[in-house]
Amino acid sequence: MELRDFISNLEEDKDLVRIKESLSTKHEISAVMDIIDKRSGQAVIFENVEGYSSPVIGNLLSKHRRAALAMGVDEKNLVQEYMKRVQTKVKPRVVSDGPIKEIVIKDKINIIKEIPVLTHHERDIGPYFTSGIVIAKDPETGVRGMGIHRMQVRSADEIILNLARPPVATFLKKAKENQRELEIAVVIGVDLLTFIASVFFSPSGVDKFEIAGALKKGPIDLVKCTTVDLEVPAQSEFVLEGKIDPRNMVEEGPFGESWGTYFETKNPLCKVQAINHRHEPIYHALTSFSGEEVLLSGLGMVGHTLPSLEEKFPDVVTLWIDPFNRSSLIVQIKKSNEDTPKKILEYLLSNIIFINSAIIVDDDIDPLDPYAVGFALSTRYKPQSGTMIMDGLKGFHLIPSSVMKEGTGLVTSKLGIDATKPLHDSGKYDMVKVPSSAADKASKLVTKYLK
């Protein structure tokens, strides 16, 4: 389903807020996105953006129900269905033309004049693209790779890419070794399955358009770019084309990052040589440190971690990121041995760099339900025996409590919590509930009134 059809569906579902007041791209739009994200979690479209004719859409994937809508599945089956589909692959197909070719600008490039790029946070240095999928090819193998990367708009035709993670960061390294420039395309505003697939944690050499095709259960249509040897989704709203000289690293940031703190570093500069867009394009914005970030990262991380975790620990059922503490993983298990939680905690804390804590819960606790997880912590967790602290582990650059140690890099300590009830419990740890017949009836009834 292309982005525009998805937005129409949200409208029908009353899951889209239309803001008609004129708002500035500087702080005002992101402030509204943030409040809506935290209160109702609805998507939001800003119809009147000061100085622009294009609307801005935001909070598209801040709730599981909308990722489920994109996949065409029931919300409670989202993670399971996602896991099933990403095991397969469907190759994209290159078509001769598409809406993204409706307007192509190659002269007098002026990014900020054409696109309502938002300045999100108080101390951000300026406007940042936050939902851009960066596409490039491996300079040695020619295999395509992609990921979402923040990009600071530095001038009328320059962007600075936050390029920490593979595969594009690896391509740039190879381009540098071969003394070549790296061609990139930046895609903003695509169907949400391509968006979700773009951050699937994949081994190198995987074309994530094949994952997007698997999620869609059909090929993604691509068109060739105008000035670079790359292909982009035919239905995209905006596409920038450009080249990175890998020798040219410049100061980027500060920018309010995914974990909610400001970050600045040196990153590569890209000279933009073409802007493509559809007629009346819609600009897709994403707030970092939001529900949408957790959902996108969560799906990518679950797709990567769950299969190997299940293989190592057959008691594992599923896992998710704590929505209120994104450095924490919640793992649901069907415990067969009292020692299993400890073993899982040791493994996760030692191997997953993005977390500083993990909680193990039983299979009657939904890791996506913060109330249920809170219940497990308040009734089943025994601090004396259920706590594990590990020190000297590898830290993550966006979690500022990690410390730099000479010769080792960033190091941190981590917390593991076993919030499972004892095996063979007689019922004293059961959570109160209403009978399922009444719960089902209530759920259908309430959905009619509330989002």
Ligand X SMILES: Cc1cc2nc3c(=O)[nH]c(=O)nc-3n(C[C@H](O)[C@H](O)[C@H](O)COP(=O)(O)O)c2cc1C
Examine residue 150 and tell whether it contacts ligand X (CB under 6 A).
yes
**For residue 239, what are the contacts with CB-CB under 8 A and spacing of at least 6?**
100, 185, 186, 187, 188, 225, 232, 275, 276, 277
Task: Extract the tokens encoding 341.
Answer: 């939680």
Using DSSP bridges, classify how beta strands 403-405 and 357-362 pair: parallel, antiparallel or unpaired. Answer: unpaired
Examine residue 16 and tell whether it contacts ligand X (CB under 6 A).
no
Query: Cα–Cα distance between 380 and 341 in angstroms, integer?
Result: 13
Determine how many CB atoms are found less than 10 A away from the CB of residue 13: 14
Cβ distance to ligand X smaller for residue 246 or 386: 246
Examine residue 413 and tell whether it contacts ligand X (CB under 6 A).
no
Instruction: Report, in Å, the least distance between residue 36 CB and ligand X.
Output: 18
Examine residue 148 and tell whether it contacts ligand X (CB under 6 A).
yes
Cβ distance to ligand X smaller for residue 272 or 376: 272
Helix axes 208-216, 78-85, angle to 10 degrees: 130
Instruction: Report, in Å, the least distance between residue 269 CB and ligand X.
Output: 15
Examine residue 149 and tell whether it contacts ligand X (CB under 6 A).
yes
Which of 237, 293, 315, 418 binds ligand X (CB under 6 A)? It is: 293
Instruction: Report, in Å, the least distance between residue 125 CB and ligand X.
Output: 14
Task: Extract the tokens encoding 97.
Answer: 């033309």
Instruction: Report, in Å, the least distance between residue 19 CB and ligand X.
Output: 22
Which of 57, 199, 272, 329 binds ligand X (CB under 6 A)? It is: 199
**For residue 321, what are the contacts with CB-CB under 8 A and spacing of at least 6?**
294, 297, 298, 301, 328, 329, 330
Phi, psi (degrees; rounded to nearest 5) at 343 = -65, -40
Query: Cα–Cα distance between 283 and 51 in angstroms, integer?
Result: 14
Which of 201, 262, 347, 396 binds ligand X (CB under 6 A)? It is: 201
* Among 307, 296, 283, 294, residue whose Cα is nearest residue 197: 296
Which of 54, 119, 194, 202 binds ligand X (CB under 6 A)? It is: 202
Q: Which residue is nearest to ligand X (CB)?
A: 147
Instruction: Report, in Å, the least distance between residue 61 CB and ligand X.
Output: 9
Using DSSP bridges, classify how beta strands 409-418 and 387-394 pair: parallel, antiparallel or unpaired. Answer: antiparallel
Instruction: Report, in Å, the least distance between residue 39 CB and ligand X.
Output: 21
Instruction: Report, in Å, the least distance between residue 264 CB and ligand X.
Output: 12
- Confirm if 204 and 167 have CB atoms less than 8 A apart: yes
Examine residue 296 and tell whether it contacts ligand X (CB under 6 A).
yes
Q: How far apart are the first and last CA of the chain?
A: 22
Helix axes 291-312, 78-85, angle to 10 degrees: 70
Examine residue 347 and tell whether it contacts ligand X (CB under 6 A).
no
Cβ distance to ligand X smaller for residue 99 or 132: 132
Instruction: Report, in Å, the least distance between residue 378 CB and ligand X.
Output: 31
Instruction: Report, in Å, the least distance between residue 231 CB and ligand X.
Output: 18
Examine residue 62 and tell whether it contacts ligand X (CB under 6 A).
no
Examine residue 125 and tell whether it contacts ligand X (CB under 6 A).
no
Helix axes 78-85, 64-71, angle to 10 degrees: 40
Cβ distance to ligand X smaller for residue 288 or 412: 288
User: In whole angstroms, how far apart are CA 427 and each of 392, 421, 422, 423, 424?
Assistant: 39, 10, 10, 11, 9
Examine residue 249 and tell whether it contacts ligand X (CB under 6 A).
no
Task: Extract the tokens encoding 144.
Answer: 């395509």
Phi, psi (degrees; rounded to nearest 5) at 326 = -70, 0
Examine residue 352 and tell whether it contacts ligand X (CB under 6 A).
no
Examine residue 162 and tell whether it contacts ligand X (CB under 6 A).
yes
Which of 55, 58, 147, 281 binds ligand X (CB under 6 A)? It is: 147
Task: Extract the tokens encoding 368.
Answer: 């996506």
Instruction: Report, in Å, the least distance between residue 268 CB and ligand X.
Output: 11
Which of 58, 92, 167, 395 binds ligand X (CB under 6 A)? It is: 167
Examine residue 297 and tell whether it contacts ligand X (CB under 6 A).
yes
Examine residue 165 and tell whether it contacts ligand X (CB under 6 A).
yes
Examine residue 354 and tell whether it contacts ligand X (CB under 6 A).
no
Residues engaged in binding ligand X (CB under 6 A): 147-150, 162-167, 199, 201-202, 286, 293, 296-297, 300
